[in-house]
Each structure stands twice: as structure tokens, then as C-alpha cells.
Amino acid sequence: MIDFENYFDTNPAIMLLIDSENGQIAKANKSASDFYGYTIDELGTLNISDINILPRVECLKQVKKIAKKELANCNFKHRLKDNSIKDVKILATPIEVDKHIMNVAIIEDISVELKNLEELKKYYKIVDESLAFIGVANKEREVVYLNKAFKKAIGINNNEDLSKYKTSDLYTKEAVNKNAKLYKKSILNGGNWIGENELKALDGTIIPVIQSGIVVKDSSNNIDFTSITAFDISQKKAAETKLIQSEKFYKSLFDNLNGFAYCKLLYKNGKANDFEYVLVNRAFEDLTGLKEVCGKRVSEVIPGILEKDFALIRHYADVVETGIPRSFEIFLESMNKWFSVSVISTDSSHFMVSFDVIDERKKHEKLIQSSLRRYKALLEISKDGIHVIDKAGKIIEVNDAFCDMLGYSKAEILNLNLNQIDVNFSKDELLDKIEEVIKNNSIIETKHRKKYGTIIDVEVNTAVLSYEGVDYLYCSSRDISERVKAEKISDEALNRLNKIASRVPGVLYQYVLRTDGTSYFPYASEGVRDIYNVSPKEIIEDASVVFNRIHKDDLEGVIKSINVSAKNLTPWQYEYRVQEDDGTIHLLYGNSIPQKQPDGEILWHGFITDITEQKKAEKALLELSDRFKHFFDLHSAVMLLIDPDSNNILDANISASNFYGYTRIELQQMKITDINILKPEEVKREMELAVNEKRNYFVFKHKLSNGELIPVEVHSTPILFDGKKTLFSIIHDISLKEKSEQQVKEYTNKLERMNADLDSFAYVASHDLKAPLNVVNGFLGLINSKKDSLSKESRDEYLKYIQDAVNQMKLLINDLLHFSRIGSNKDSFVMVDVNHLLISIQDVLAETIHKSNATVTIQPLPTISANKTLLNELFMNLLGNALKYHKSDQEVLIEVGYQETPEYHQFFVKDNGIGIATENLGKVFVMFKRLHTQTEFEGTGIGLSLCKRIVEAHNGQIWVESVLGEGSTFYFTIKK
Ligand code: ADP
């Protein structure tokens, strides 16, 4: 027999012995005491229902079940002494003790275990609901667990038994192999693995995943299971593939379609003048044919581009400088290609260019235009504004009329879209309209804006042109602004016409001749009252009242002329008279144009005016012109009629014929420029002054038939002659007047000169003559006062002084007399051979010449008309001075020479003497002006003033050129 008691008490398991009748705890072992926190004795007083948290009745039920062996194994919650509750597992069995059934319960504390289980459940849920694919396999590689996501991905139902699957069923073949390797590796080295893999669903779909796997071993290092966590990366894969594809796409685009270049703009002196290729694509090379351009400048790569196509660099620079992208088409002469270019700037010096060669398109455009050529002739001669547009409204071709209509140049207009011209439709409406018109040709009325803003109404006729499957619209437009305007104002027109007509002198009318011979005025302006003394209404049905007014002598003629005009449909023009009631007669002039009406009636439009006054004036004019003719022909003054446009002399009177020495007929065939010596353009200018009445007095020189030039005074007035402006000129010979004027001038000059000389006399008298007089006076005084005491020597000496002074005075007075005698009496002029004159002068001066050891050279001299005595005097003085004012240490050289000018004989006397200081050059010709004292050089200071006077008597001039110390040249002229 087992020592139950000992077994019970010392058993490490928690044990209780419970009375099956009432649940009373009969015995508890040490382990129970430890577990529940009660002493063994305390436990012996408790009922199991004190510990089990079930209600007492329920608890007893369980105890009974155990006693009856209906329950052996169950879980409960037990409350410990400290009130904490523990999950416990009970293993109970009934035993018979003293015929009493007792339950032996072994209690296992399962609270920790349960807690773990809870935790596990939580994890399980997370794992099961996770979006990642999570699976577990045992070491036989059989699938033990797959979470929901995994199952769904593979296509396994939630409740399906997993044990039939092996891991290899879940992967593609390659993946299985890959996994096997990784698996092995992991087993050897431990740890987990991670990598891309491919799951295979039951339907064969491949799911790319990234997965991590781990091999879990048990405590004795045997493989327990393998866990896999995988993520579906199919979307990422798809995106990646897409990305790769689009990259490929763009790359091919980049390489094959457009040319691309990334460039750097280069500057010189702050101005963009070149650029460098940084990067280009393959298409760049294909399109341009340029190879290995990177790092090079465009000017190196494309020679001549800077010179021929600088516009390109300008475009790029603008884009870089403004940052505004630009697209344009350009023909590069240096490459002989058309390009379409788009540019954007990337920073302040770089830009990207995408371009295409559009030669083909340009060629196409050209073709289009050439196909239009056959329309072109039509285009150019058409008065309508023709323009060809494409579907987008771009203007492709225009004629001149269209340009004129809108005020643009052809080049300007070809850059426009129709929507920039049309103001009636919005951009979109216009496109719709074009579409519509292409479908059903139609006529459109619209409005166009001219270059400077004026809006015009136009009517556009359209036709479709197809070229290579592309439709173009051939539009022919006509400016109908006027028509539109006209329509608008048509109502007012009649009123206005009436208003205007009422202001026109005379009558505006319409006159109708019926087929039966009667007539009427459907319209006549108010002026009809003045002319025929009837109202417009009175004659609207019947014109006869008008005819009653016509002078009886003219009536027949009027009717006849009307009939002729009606028959031949020629304009009716007639002058006739009407007679008023009081007998006054008016002269009328009528003018009208006939039109045959469909019904056979003849309608005239015309006007009639009263020309009585005009006729009177004409008659008066005729009479006047007759009178004028008479006056003109016979007047003693010289008169010419000149046509200012042609310069023709239209008429000349008898006096003119006498004066000029031509016959009147000759004069009428001449031009005024044949007579007036001014240049034709000068004549024209002067004549314009006369025609425009700016001036009517002129002084000219006219040439007579004998070649003589006569100064004339001309009075010119414009007059109407045969309805044309004509110059009427009266000509006076003023040659006599001019001559006498000249004489007066000469006399006046002479008088002035004489006055000046008289002034000089006065000066001389007061100064120079006074000096010797004072000397005389002084010495005479001395002699007088010292009468007795004066020694003979002193008296003789004084008398000598007096004598000298008197001699000086005599000299002076002689010179003065001589001077005053010099006149310009022309009668005393003779022909003088100046050569001879100088030979005789040299004879007179021979001694002086000899004394001063001078050489006198004389050039050949002319024979001139002059006063011989005076000319002699002149040369004597000049040569005398030349000999006198010489330098003592030098040979004296004197030269006399001559030069002819158109109006004068010019002589000079040149010496190499002492010369004259520049400041004294003007003084030497002044009377009594001397530059030296008597002791230096003797003289009176009158010689050169004499010379001046002599030269002036010959209407000439005298002057001197000199350098002090080097010599002087005296020039003088004698008027021819
Ligand atoms: P004069 O009787 O003093 O010679 P002129 O009227 O002839 O008077 O000359 C006036 C002055 O001009 C002279 O005093 C002299 O100083 C100067 N003169 C005249 N002729 C010459 C000459 N050939 N060379 C230098 N000086 C001259």
C-alpha cells in the first residue's frame, strides 16, 4: 500500500483532498499551502468554493461531477489568500476513504502559460492580418502556416488544409533553386536571408517579392521550422519597368528626333558674340552634319556664321538676357538650311536649344505656293483683296490689293494670322468659321482691322484649295464699308442732296421725255424757282410750263437739241435765253446726260445755270483785252508778255522790237533767257517772285541783238492771259542813269578826297609851316633886341638860320602847290610807253644812282593810258626813295616790275634798303609823315602822299610790303 499520506504531503504538485458531498477541503499539502498563501490548517477550514471563483452552487456541481467520474480535467480560476486570481488546471479523481467519496485534485498553475498563449494569439492575429506574406514550413519543407495575405496571393482558400502543399509549390522553379541555396547557406551559417524572389500563384501568375527567411532550430540544434516574410513588389517592378521604358523613350527621343544642344554664351566687351557647345545629342550631328563640337565655339565649327547669321546669336543672347524662352524659324545662310529652333535659358550664361531642320517643310510650303501660282495671276490682277489661309488661319499668300486694303506690306501680312486682322470673330469662332466655310463654301460678311486701327466692313468669297490632302481657303474679300455706310445713310441722302442742290447756283434736275413726246421733271432742286420761276412740284408731272418761259427765238433750238440728244444719247449742252414776266432776259446754260429707260423713255441728269453775268463779264473781258492789246502794241515803253512756265516770250510790243533789235516775230519765238544774261535757274527764281506777287521790281542786264549788254529795270505783274498766268513786264533802259550815277559817285569821291587833303593842308599850315616861321620869328627878335650889341658873326649866324628856315618853307610850299595841282583830268591822258619813261628817269637820276652805287633792274613794261607828267613824278618819287633809304653797308639793288590784271596795270618798285616797321606801313602815305629826322635822311614827308594822289588820279591804289632791315616793295595800280 502506498503511503498516500506521505505521497500527498510531500508531493511537489499542489494537491487538495475535497469532500465530494459538500466541497469542504479535507486536506491540503505543503505545495498547496505555498501556492494559495494559507497555512495547511487554514486551508483545512475552507470550502473549495471559497477558492474557486465560480458561484458556490456551480462549484459544488463540478465537485459532484468529478466524484461521479464525469469530469477529470478542467480549468478554473482560483483566488489566493492575497486575493489575486490564478488560472489553474485541475486533474481530479475520486477515491473512497472510509466509504466516503473524496476528490483528489492536483492543481496546476497555468496562469503564466495562458498569458503567453494570449500574447501569442495577439501576435498571431497581427501576423495573420499582415499585408506582408508570412509563411512557416517544417523541416520537411511542408507548409505549416500561411497568413491570409499569403493565401490570397497564392489563391488558397482560408479554410483549406495546408498540409498538402510543399514550399516548392509556392515558388517558380528558379525561385525554388534560389531558395534552396539560401536555405542551405542559412543552415550552415545561421541567421536569415533577404533578397528578391518570385512567388507563383496557383493560376501561374508570377508575383515578384522581396523576402526574408529564417531557419529556426530547437534547443538541441535541430531544424524546427522555417519562416518566410515576403513583400509584393510587383507594383514597384511595374513602375520600374515603366521608368526604364520612358527613359528609353526619352533617350531615343533625345537621340533621334530633335537636335539638342546645351551651350554657353560667350561675351566680348559686354556683348554676346559667340557661343560654345557644352553638350549635344546624336541628332545634333545627324541634322547638322557637324561632328565633335563639344567644347568648341560655333564660330570655329560653322565658319562665317558670325558674319552671315548673327541674328542667331542675337536670339540666343535675348533669351539668356531676358530669361524668356523663344521659338523661331531661321534660315542659316552659313549652313544653307532652314531651322526651327526653341531656346530656353538655364542660367545667366547657358541655354538649351532644341531644333529641327525644316528644309522639307519649307520646301513643302514652297510647293504649296507654287501650286498656288496658277491662281497667282488671278490673284495679282484681281481688284479684290485675295488671301489664302490654312486651317489655322495662318495667312499663306496675299495679293497687293489685300495689302492695300489693310495698309500692310506683303511681308508684314504674311506674318499674321487671320485672327489678328478679323475683329468680328474671336480666335475660336474664327477657327470654327474656317472649318465651316471649308465644308460649305460661302460668302461671309465680317470686319477687318487695318494696320492703324481703322475697321472696315468686308465681304469675303471663299473657295477651298486642296494640296496634298491639306485644305486651304482661298478668300477674296472686298471692302464694303462704303456700301454699308451708303446703305446706312441712304435715307438721309436725298435730304442732303436737296440741301446741297439748293446751294448750287442754278438747278440740278432729272428730266424725262415720254415716248408720246410730253415730258416732266421727276426731280428739280429749289433753284428751279430762280431760273424758271416755277416750283419743283409744279413740273413733276408736266414740264410744259418750263418751256413757256424760254425765249421764243430760242425755243425751237432747245427742243431740237433735246431731240438730238434723245436720239443719239449724246450729252445735251445748250445756251439759251428765258424771259421773265417783266421782260428781263436771262441767258442759261444747260448740260445733262441722257439714259434710255427700259420702257423707252429718256431720262436726263443734269444742271442748268444762269450765265447772264458770266457772259457779261466775258464780253467785258474781251473788250478789255482788245483795249489792252492796243495799249500794249503802241506803248512807247518796252513791254513783254512772258509765259513763266516755259520762259517763252508770248508777245513783245513795237518798242521792244526797237529796243532789242529783233523783229516782233523773232521775239515771239525767243525765250526770256535769250535776253536776260542771268542763268536760266536764276531767271526762273526771279520770275517766280513776280508770278507770286512777292516782288515786281527787278534790275537785270539784257542782251541786245548786237550783243550789247544794257542794264534794265523791269516791272513785272502777273496777269491772266487766255486763262493762264502770264507775266507782263515793262522794261526801262537804265544805262544812262547808271552812267550818270557812276559819275556822281566819282565826283563825290573826288570831293571827299579833296576835303581830306584840305584837312591835311590845315594841319600843315598849323604845324609844319609854323616851325620854320617860329625859327624866323625867334631870330628876328634876337637881332632886334640886341641891335647894337650883336656882333657881326652872331648876326650872320642868325641870318643863316633864318635863311635855312625860309628855304625849308619854300620847299614845303612848292611841294604843297605841286600836290594841289595834281588832278584827274582824263583829257590829259595819253598812251605812255613806261619803258621809255623809266629810261629817261634813270638818266635824270644817273648821278644819284652812281653815287649810291646802285643797280637798277627794269623788267619789260607796258604802254598804258596815263597822265605822263604824273606817272613820271610817281616813278621819280618811288625810285628816289629806293635810292635814298638804303643801307650804308650794302650794295643797293632796285627792281621795277609789272603784272597785268583784268582791270589794272600793276607795277612795283622793289629795294633792299632799310625797310619799314610793320606798324609804320600805313603811316608813310600820310602827308608830311616821316619816319626819320632830317639828319638821318633829308625830305619833306610829302613824296609818298603825292604818289598816292597820283595813283588815285588814275583810279588805282598804292601799298607797300616791307620787312624792317631787309627792304621794301611799293606796289601801285593804274586802272585800264
Ligand atoms: P620823304 O620826303 O621823307 O622821303 P616820303 O613821303 O617820300 O617823304 O616818305 C615818307 C617816309 O617813308 C620817309 O620819311 C621814309 O621814312 C619812308 N620811306 C619812303 N620810301 C622808303 C623806302 N624805299 N625805304 C624805306 N623807307 C621809306
At residue 367, the pLDDT reads 57
Q: How many CB atoms lie within 10 A of CB 436?
A: 11
**DSSP label at 394?**
B
The Cβ-side half-sphere exposure at 126, using a 13 Å CA radius, reads 6
Q: In angstroms, rounded to a whole number, what is the distance separating the alpha carbons of residues 824 and 870?
A: 10
Q: In angstroms, rounded to a whole number, what is the distance separating the alpha carbons of residues 602 and 594?
A: 6
CA angle 491, 495, 499 (to 5 degrees): 155
Report how far ligand 1's centroid is from the alpha carbon of 878 (Å): 9
Mean pLDDT, rounded, for 273-292: 87
Report how far ligand 1's centroid is from the alpha carbon of 941 (Å): 7
Asked if the model's pLDDT at residue 959 lies above 50, the reply is yes
At residue 64, the pLDDT reads 93
Mean pLDDT, rounded, for 902-931: 88
From the CB of 946, is ligand 1 less than 6 Å away? no
Of 229 and 59, more confident: 59
Report how far ligand 1's centroid is from the alpha carbon of 836 (Å): 25
Q: Closest Cα to atom 4, ligand 1: which residue?
A: 939
Asked if the model's pLDDT at residue 716 lies above 70, the reply is yes
From the CB of 949, is ligand 1 less than 6 Å away? no
At residue 108, the pLDDT reads 87
Residue pair 574/590 in contact by the 8 Å Cβ criterion: yes
Q: Closest Cα to atom 16, ligand 1: which residue?
A: 931
Of 134-148, 750-764, 849-863, which range is least confident? 750-764
Report how far ligand 1's centroid is from the alpha carbon of 976 (Å): 28
From the CB of 912, is ligand 1 less than 6 Å away? no
b/e per residue 884-912 (b: at least 16 CB within 10 A):
bbbeeeeebbbbbbbeeeeebbbbbbbbb
Of 357-366, 534-543, 929-938, which range is least confident? 357-366
What residues contact residue 308 under an 8 Å CB cut-off, 6+ apart? 332, 333, 334
Report how far ligand 1's centroid is from the alpha carbon of 762 (Å): 22
Asked if the model's pLDDT at residue 426 lies above 60, the reply is yes
Report how far ligand 1's centroid is from the alpha carbon of 961 (Å): 13
From the CB of 916, is ligand 1 less than 6 Å away? yes
Q: How many CB atoms lie within 10 A of CB 390?
A: 18
For residue 970, give the nearest of 223, 957, 536 by alpha carbon: 957
For residue 422, give the nearest of 403, 396, 450 by alpha carbon: 450
At residue 725, the pLDDT reads 83
Question: For residue 877, which atom of ligand 1 is closest to its CA?
Answer: 7
Report how far ligand 1's centroid is from the alpha carbon of 93 (Å): 184
Asked if the model's pLDDT at residue 560 lies above 80, the reply is yes
pLDDT, tens digit, 9 for 90 and up, residues 604-661 = 888 888 888 878 777 766 776 677 777 788 888 889 989 988 899 988 988 899 999 9
Report how far ligand 1's centroid is from the alpha carbon of 882 (Å): 8
Asked if the model's pLDDT at residue 898 lies above 80, the reply is yes
Residue pair 186/214 in contact by the 8 Å Cβ criterion: yes
Cell of 48: 473549495
Using pLDDT thresholds of 50, 70 and 90, give the confidence band for residue 252.
Answer: very low
From the CB of 914, is ligand 1 less than 6 Å away? yes
Q: Closest Cα to atom 11, ligand 1: which residue?
A: 930
The helix-helix angle for 834-844 and 868-884 (nearest 10°) equals: 50
Strands (E) in 98-247, as ranges, are 100-109, 133-138, 143-146, 192-200, 206-217, 223-232
At residue 824, the pLDDT reads 47
Residue that the C-alpha cell 480560476 belongs to: 77
From the CB of 956, is ligand 1 less than 6 Å away? no
Report how far ligand 1's centroid is from the alpha carbon of 832 (Å): 26
The helix-helix angle for 792-821 and 735-766 (nearest 10°) equals: 170
Question: For residue 915, which atom of ligand 1 is closest to its CA?
Answer: 25
For residue 761, give the nearest of 818, 845, 722, 840 by alpha carbon: 818
Q: In angstroms, rounded to a whole number, what is the distance separating the alpha carbons of residues 239 and 773?
A: 142
Q: In angstroms, rounded to a whole number, what is the distance separating the alpha carbons of residues 266 and 320?
A: 11
Question: For residue 914, which atom of ligand 1 is closest to its CA?
Answer: 25
Q: What 3-state class would DSSP assign to 728?
A: strand
At residue 255, the pLDDT reads 52
Q: In angstroms, rounded to a whole number, what is the distance separating the alpha carbons of residues 876 and 855?
A: 16
Long-range pairs of 341-348 with CB within 8 A, sequence gap ≥ 24: 341/312, 341/315, 343/315, 343/316, 343/319, 344/319, 345/319, 345/320, 346/262, 348/320
b/e per residue 665-702 (b: at least 16 CB within 10 A):
eebeebebbbbbeeeeeebeebbeebbeeeebebebeb
The pTM of this model reads 0.30
Q: Closest Cα to atom 7, ligand 1: which residue?
A: 943
Report how far ligand 1's centroid is from the alpha carbon of 794 (Å): 35
Q: In angstroms, rounded to a whole number, what is the distance separating the alpha carbons of residues 687 and 485?
A: 49
What residues contact residue 607 under an 8 Å CB cut-off, 6+ apart? 504, 506, 507, 508, 509, 590, 591, 592
Burial of 63 (C-beta count, 10 Å sphere; 0-12/13-18/19+): buried
Q: Return the biggest CA–CA distance within the chain.
A: 229
From the CB of 968, is ligand 1 less than 6 Å away? yes
Asked if the model's pLDDT at residue 340 lies above 50, the reply is yes
Asked if the model's pLDDT at residue 275 lies above 90, the reply is yes
From the CB of 917, is ligand 1 less than 6 Å away? no
Report how far ligand 1's centroid is from the alpha carbon of 754 (Å): 23
From the CB of 967, is ligand 1 less than 6 Å away? no
Q: Closest Cα to atom 13, ligand 1: which residue?
A: 930
Q: What 3-state class would DSSP assign to 937?
A: coil
Q: In angstroms, rounded to a whole number, what is the distance separating the alpha carbons of residues 561 and 573?
A: 8
From the CB of 32, is ligand 1 less than 6 Å away? no
- φ, ψ dihedrals at 69, nearest 5°: 65, 25
Q: In angstroms, rounded to a whole number, what is the distance separating the alpha carbons of residues 895 and 842?
A: 12
Mean pLDDT, rounded, for 850-862: 91
Report how far ligand 1's centroid is from the alpha carbon of 761 (Å): 19
Report how far ligand 1's centroid is from the alpha carbon of 844 (Å): 20
Asked if the model's pLDDT at residue 768 lies above 70, the reply is no
Using pLDDT thresholds of 50, 70 and 90, give the confidence band for residue 347.
Answer: confident
Residue pair 887/963 in contact by the 8 Å Cβ criterion: no
Report how far ligand 1's centroid is from the alpha carbon of 845 (Å): 17
Q: In angstroms, rounded to a whole number, what is the distance separating the alpha carbons of residues 666 and 648?
A: 12
Of 329-338, 359-368, 802-811, which range is least confident? 359-368
From the CB of 944, is ligand 1 less than 6 Å away? yes
From the CB of 911, is ligand 1 less than 6 Å away? yes
At residue 249, the pLDDT reads 46
At residue 502, the pLDDT reads 63
Choosing from 760, 878, 881, 971 the residue with most ligand 1 atoms within 8 A of its CB, the one to mutate for a pocket test is 881
- φ, ψ dihedrals at 52, nearest 5°: -70, 135
Write the DSSP assignment of 13-63 as a string of letters.
SEEEEEETTT-BEEEE-HHHHHHHSS-HHHHHH-BHHHHB-S-HHHHHHHH
From the CB of 885, is ligand 1 less than 6 Å away? yes
Task: Compute the mean pLDDT over every residue in the chain, rounded to the nearest whole number.
Answer: 83
At residue 1, the pLDDT reads 46
Of 286 and 672, more confident: 672
Strands (E) in 316-383, as ranges, are 326-332, 337-345, 350-357
b/e per residue 253-269 (b: at least 16 CB within 10 A):
eeeeebbbbebbbeeee
Q: In angstroms, rounded to a whole number, what is the distance separating the alpha carbons of residues 280 and 290?
A: 10
Choosing from 885, 911, 934, 972 the residue with most ligand 1 atoms within 8 A of its CB, the one to mutate for a pocket test is 885
Q: In angstroms, rounded to a whole number, what is the distance separating the alpha carbons of residues 880 and 842?
A: 10
At residue 47, the pLDDT reads 94
From the CB of 932, is ligand 1 less than 6 Å away? yes
Cell of 624: 478789255
Of 37-41, 449-453, 905-909, which range is least confident? 449-453
Using pLDDT thresholds of 50, 70 and 90, give the confidence band for residue 124.
Answer: confident
Residues of the chain above pLDDT 70, percent: 87
Q: In angstroms, rounded to a whole number, what is the distance separating the alpha carbons of residues 850 and 820?
A: 32
Using pLDDT thresholds of 50, 70 and 90, give the confidence band for residue 786.
Answer: confident
Report how far ligand 1's centroid is from the alpha carbon of 850 (Å): 20
Residue pair 896/877 in contact by the 8 Å Cβ criterion: no
Choosing from 856, 924, 951 the residue with most ligand 1 atoms within 8 A of its CB, the one to mutate for a pocket test is 924
At residue 227, the pLDDT reads 78
From the CB of 52, is ligand 1 less than 6 Å away? no
From the CB of 812, is ligand 1 less than 6 Å away? no
Q: In angstroms, rounded to a whole number, what is the distance separating the alpha carbons of residues 287 and 275?
A: 19
Question: For residue 940, which atom of ligand 1 is closest to its CA?
Answer: 2
Report how far ligand 1's centroid is from the alpha carbon of 852 (Å): 17
What residues contact residue 371 under an 8 Å CB cut-off, 6+ apart? 465, 467
Q: Closest Cα to atom 12, ligand 1: which residue?
A: 924
Of 385-394, 406-415, 536-545, 750-759, which range is least confident? 750-759
Range ranked top by mean pLDDT from 237-241, 252-256, 283-287 = 283-287
Q: In angstroms, rounded to a whole number, what is the distance separating the alpha carbons of residues 838 and 856?
A: 10
pLDDT, tens digit, 9 for 90 and up, residues 22-57 = 999 999 999 999 999 999 999 999 999 999 999 999
At residue 726, the pLDDT reads 86
Residue that the C-alpha cell 498547496 belongs to: 32
At residue 900, the pLDDT reads 92
Residue 65 parent element (H or E): helix 56-67
578, 918, 945 from 533: Cα distances, Å: 10, 99, 97
Of 105-119, 248-262, 436-450, 645-659, which range is least confident? 248-262
Mean pLDDT, rounded, for 443-471: 82
At residue 253, the pLDDT reads 45
From the CB of 676, is ligand 1 less than 6 Å away? no
Question: For residue 941, which atom of ligand 1 is closest to its CA?
Answer: 8
From the CB of 941, is ligand 1 less than 6 Å away? yes
At residue 328, the pLDDT reads 83
Write the DSSP assignment of 369-389 as a string of letters.
HHHTHHHHHHHHH-SSEEEEE
Of 244-248, 319-323, 963-967, which range is least confident? 244-248
Report how far ligand 1's centroid is from the alpha carbon of 958 (Å): 14
pLDDT, tens digit, 9 for 90 and up, residues 939-949 = 777 788 889 88
Report how far ligand 1's centroid is from the alpha carbon of 869 (Å): 21
At residue 247, the pLDDT reads 53
Of 15-24, 256-265, 285-294, 363-372, which range is least confident? 363-372
Mean pLDDT, rounded, for 498-515: 77
Q: In angstroms, rounded to a whole number, what is the distance separating the alpha carbons of residues 313 and 297?
A: 12
Residue pair 480/457 in contact by the 8 Å Cβ criterion: yes
From the CB of 881, is ligand 1 less than 6 Å away? yes
Using pLDDT thresholds of 50, 70 and 90, give the confidence band for residue 182.
Answer: confident
Asked if the model's pLDDT at residue 134 lies above 70, the reply is yes
